[in-house]
Amino acid sequence: MHIYLTGATGFIGSRILPLLLDAGHSVTGLTRSGEGARQIEVAGATAYRGTLEDPAGLARGAENADAVIHTAFDHNFANFVENTQRDYRVIEALGEVLNGTARPLIITSGVGIGSRGAGAIATEDFTDWDNPNPRIATEKAGQALLDRGVSVGVVRLPQVHNIERAGLISPLTDIFVAQGAAGYGGDGSARWPAAHVDDVAQLYVLALEKHRAGIKWNAVAEEGVASKDIAAVLAAGLGLPLRAVSDDQLGEFFGWMAAFAAHDMAASSDWTRRTLGWNPQGPKLLDDLRAMFERSPAG
């Protein structure tokens, strides 16, 4: 197949691209820059220039594709709400191109959207349409297209990591440095699911091969890592004290991340693993965080 891959030079997309090529697909990769175009072409794919700010222009890259994998997203989490609304518009535009065809569109969301409530483990078979997480906009955009007959599937992400980046934990590190302490909300038992970026990239390829309209996949290798354990590793790596943050201090300490800080986000991938034959093998989250500091020591 010929695949249109948005975010082709991004953290996850740049790992998906070679896997698609190795599987025998041809790829057009979206990029906003000349350097990104060179990276895509060196990898053996075709570059297409576009931006998230121009959804219609971005979507034109899908006109000749047999399938679309959409991973592009603005990861400036300080503007998270605005960025999710932009994602809605991009997905809407991609749907306009694919409408009336059976061509798959695989979009990217977060595992928390599949939670039934506080402390419940998120699963693939549930969607909380009233979820306060702004990322619900992504799934609402996908559902609107699905209702119109577009063949949409969703990959739901946890904290995706390697020794360079780790989802929300990377900006969390900056907050800890600014606060002079590594904090955790409540008793630190809130869980954050995780998966190594290479395992996540493999899941996208498997999801394409076994795509069905309306299907949702949880890209989860670890069901939940306690927030206190995450903070403890960051405290050791940064040379900061470890601190419990009470509920009434979450906003002051964590700022824009307060909504996530003490929120239990555990998620299962049992169904995804069985259905796809996906068997994540990458390093664990805490191991990658430790290796991150060994690679670039604090101070």
Write out pLDDT tens, residues 120-157: 999 999 999 998 889 999 999 999 999 999 999 999 99
The rounded distance, in Å, linking the Cα atoms of 229 and 253 is 18
Structure tokens at 146: 């699905």
| 3-state helix vs strand vs coil in the chain, percent to 5 | 45, 20, 35
pTM, 2 dp: 0.94
Write out pLDDT tens, residues 151-182: 999 999 999 999 999 999 999 999 999 999 99
Asked if 154 and 123 touch (Cβ cutoff 8 Å), the reply is no
Asked if 58 and 52 touch (Cβ cutoff 8 Å), the reply is yes
- Answer whether residue 299 shows pLDDT above 60: no
